Structure 1
């Protein structure tokens, strides 16, 4: 196999090669437990699960998960859909976890049993990170496990949490990661909560890979792009935006400079000083990155993808793609979520 050319720092994290489940990649596996409470928010739970499974598509076996219940019976979600559990929760079977996330919902009763409180306290004492979805933070607070922490909780339960946990800083944000406490007030909050936690475990590369796969709407793409380039000068941000808007018919550097109101030399200096690369290389890497995304997540042919990303000939496209990824575009993994073998449930 041809050795891959290295991407510049600004785009390297977006081009992690997806791993097949049989590649046997070495690395750490983090174990996450989800405790489902009655009427839990199914969208928040599935968003969390999808984030972890998507991470496994990129880094094989990065996460394993187990679904807990208070009893052996299926747990009814807020949508009336029952979800089966793997195990009945107790302090013994949470000891090996890296994180335990309590999944609540709008209609989840805020009733803490003595048994659940003891389990949560013992789990925290074992060094396991604790999380809460929707009103899950209420149960952590009731057990005294949010004292001195910041947290996020659905607005319906903010006042109740404030009353039972006066030393907890109850925020109005959708998610909060404060040391070993992870809380989210909505499905979107659950997504960003786990991204922040994953970043702490595995770094920005894996996070960017997950975002690129799940960022199927342009609103999120713009948000992620803005965050990625927010430390760059306005002029450089403008040039990069022009590049991203003109992948199919790439502009020349002189054209980019003209539209940005700068000279070619000024543009080249901005790329060199702030990104450590050249305009031409960054533009090519943007096009190659988009080509890889289209190959993985669309039914377009290799020729169609090449044309959509500004490559006039298939031979040039194949040459550039092989230089960066070490294989021809025809050999790229076509990700099919329906046949995903990386849902790693613990029996």
Structure 2
């Protein structure tokens, strides 16, 4: 019997890894490099790196990440943990990048060595975005590469940078993105910076998927992340919350309506006008997506997952799963638990 292929609605698709992978297949890979300076902020670096590594987990090959240091030597972080770079700092390697981030830290030396100043000026002439973490903006500013740009730097060095780079606009914000300059002053800012870069260099859908995966408290990062229901009225938002809370035993439209004080027809109209789909489709896609997450990230059996997500028939569950993801649940990748 021929398998029917089904697609996620656009409104719901950004929450689903399967859709993101298909969407990204036609986009080019984003190439990001991190130049580690002695005593760089390890928390800033790992927050930024986590975003990119997770992007590759969701969409393999979405981002190529390189770490550099002067002379390809091991670099000591501010937490006393050494990091060994994986890529030599050569012109050929650098010219292939889309973004290079200077990773500074509280105890990183403010003196800008000649090799770094020359390198930054060379990079500024290439079609490469320049970034800085913690006090990374200091090195860009001293090299004259922030003149006319807004920038973020840790509070300890704001005054010093304003004096040293008078034509730069030193912000009090933890993150500044101004054209081809991206600077962050805190670990949270580094996270947000990479999410924003991912949305620009790869796709907004992939950026949203990474944010949905990593950040349980997304309120800190709403400056980038459009809320999944940013155009959704309060009544419809309440309906969706009820759906999300009742996957094992899905509620009927009549039950949903009774709980929020709406008729089934009113709920239909809200989904149509605000999300361009039907409540039935939205609820079903919510359940099938949660089923995939459970299979990937738990040891639960396929049968238990199907029950947990409101499927009374394993046959129906398997057929629906294949229709959306291109393979049965038994062939899904399970990450080690």
1:36 aligns with 2:36: yes
TM, length-normalised to structure 1? 0.86
Matching of residues 189-208 of structure 1 within 5 Å: 189-208=189-208
Secondary structure at the aligned position of 1:14 is classed as: coil
Q: Which moved more, 1:323-332 or 1:313-322?
A: 313-322
Partner Cα distance (1:209, 1:127) in 2: 28
> Partner residue of 1:76?
76
Matching of residues 175-324 of structure 1 within 5 Å: 175-215=175-215, 217=216, 219-220=217-218, 227-324=227-324
User: Could you tell me how far 1:92 is from its partner in structure 2?
Assistant: 5.4
Partner Cα distance (2:250, 2:109) in 1: 56
Partner Cα distance (2:122, 2:184) in 1: 22
Answer yes or no: is the 8 Å Cα contact 1:41–1:78 preserved in 2. Answer: yes
Bigger relative CO (Cα 8 Å, ≥ 6 apart):
1
Partner Cα distance (1:193, 1:261) in 2: 41
Structure 2 gap segments, 5+ residues each: none
1:137 aligns with 2:131: no
Answer yes or no: is the 8 Å Cα contact 1:105–1:135 preserved in 2. Answer: yes
Answer yes or no: is the 8 Å Cα contact 2:247–2:309 preserved in 1. Answer: yes
Answer yes or no: is the 8 Å Cα contact 2:29–2:202 preserved in 1. Answer: no
User: Could you tell me how far 1:270 is from its partner in structure 2?
Assistant: 0.8
Answer yes or no: is the 8 Å Cα contact 1:90–1:119 preserved in 2. Answer: no
Answer yes or no: is the 8 Å Cα contact 1:3–1:326 preserved in 2. Answer: no
User: Could you tell me how far 1:87 is from its partner in structure 2?
Assistant: 4.5
TM, length-normalised to structure 2? 0.89
Answer yes or no: is the 8 Å Cα contact 2:72–2:89 preserved in 1. Answer: no
> Partner residue of 1:113?
113
User: Could you tell me how far 1:125 is from its partner in structure 2?
Assistant: 0.8
Structure 1 gap segments, 5+ residues each: 338-347
User: Could you tell me how far 1:222 is from its partner in structure 2?
Assistant: 11
Alpha-carbon RMSD = 2.6
Partner Cα distance (1:239, 1:111) in 2: 57
Secondary structure at the aligned position of 2:35 is classed as: strand
Q: CA-to-partner distance for each residue in 1:93-143, whole Å, 9 max, x for gaps? A: 422211111011122122212321121111011111111111111111111
Partner Cα distance (1:221, 1:144) in 2: 35
User: Could you tell me how far 1:200 is from its partner in structure 2?
Assistant: 1.2
User: Could you tell me how far 1:283 is from its partner in structure 2?
Assistant: 0.9
Count of residues paired in the alignment: 331
Answer yes or no: is the 8 Å Cα contact 1:291–1:305 preserved in 2. Answer: yes
1:326 aligns with 2:303: no
Secondary structure at the aligned position of 1:71 is classed as: helix
Answer yes or no: is the 8 Å Cα contact 2:30–2:98 preserved in 1. Answer: yes
Answer yes or no: is the 8 Å Cα contact 2:20–2:205 preserved in 1. Answer: no
Secondary structure at the aligned position of 1:130 is classed as: strand
Partner Cα distance (2:245, 2:172) in 1: 35
Answer yes or no: is the 8 Å Cα contact 1:91–1:123 preserved in 2. Answer: no
